């Protein structure tokens, strides 16, 4: 499946318990399965209230060869409740949360377009 994808988005939380397996997955996709590095991107998900933790995770991933998408999804009940009833993260009722989700999704679209133009 990964070989057929134009862009592989790996969601990850901010803790090393989340980041390390996500990076190992990306490494395996690249080194064992030949997926080009530029087609692998990380999306920060379930982000808590700590700005320091977010910055540390971004710094950690910036040391890796893979793309880190702009934006993130915070850990909010509104997102999980929306998905429980079949809605997407951009269909939440809270405007600020919709804006955050749209930023991440726009980053995914932008990255996919960049890869297609190569």
Residue-wise pLDDT tens digits, 43-79:
999 999 999 999 999 999 999 999 999 999 999 999 9
Residue 117: the pLDDT is: 86
70's tokens: 């702009």
Residue 111: the pLDDT is: 97
Angle ∠(73,5,27) on CA atoms, nearest 5: 70
> pLDDT category, 88, cuts 50, 70, 90?
very high
Q: In whole angstroms, what separates CA 90 from the centre of its chain?
A: 15
User: What residues make up the domain containing 60?
Assistant: 2-116
Residue 1: the pLDDT is: 87
The domain total for the chain is: 1
CATH of the domain at 46: 3.40.50.300
> pLDDT category, 118, cuts 50, 70, 90?
confident
Q: Is the pLDDT of residue 2 over 90?
A: no
> pLDDT category, 15, cuts 50, 70, 90?
very high
Start-to-end CA distance of the chain, whole Å, equals 21
Plot region of 34 (φ>0 → left; ψ -120 to 50 → alpha; else → beta): left
Is the full-model pTM beyond 0.85?
Answer: yes
Q: How far apart are CA 68 and CA 75, in angstroms?
A: 18
């Amino acid at each position: 499946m990964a070989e057929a994808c134009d862009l592989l988005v790996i969601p990850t939380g901010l803790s090393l318990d989340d980041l390390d397996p996500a990076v190992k997955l990306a490494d395996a996709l690249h080194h064992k399965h030949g997926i080009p590095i530029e087609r692998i991107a990380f999306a920060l998900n379930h982000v808590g209230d700590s700005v320091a933790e977010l910055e540390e995770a971004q710094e950690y991933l910036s040391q890796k060869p893979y793309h880190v998408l702009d934006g993130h999804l915070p850990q909010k009940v509104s997102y999980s409740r929306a998905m429980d009833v079949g809605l997407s993260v951009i269909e939440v009722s809270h405007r600020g949360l919709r804006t955050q989700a749209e930023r991440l999704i726009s980053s995914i679209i932008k990255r996919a377009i960049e890869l297609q133009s190569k």
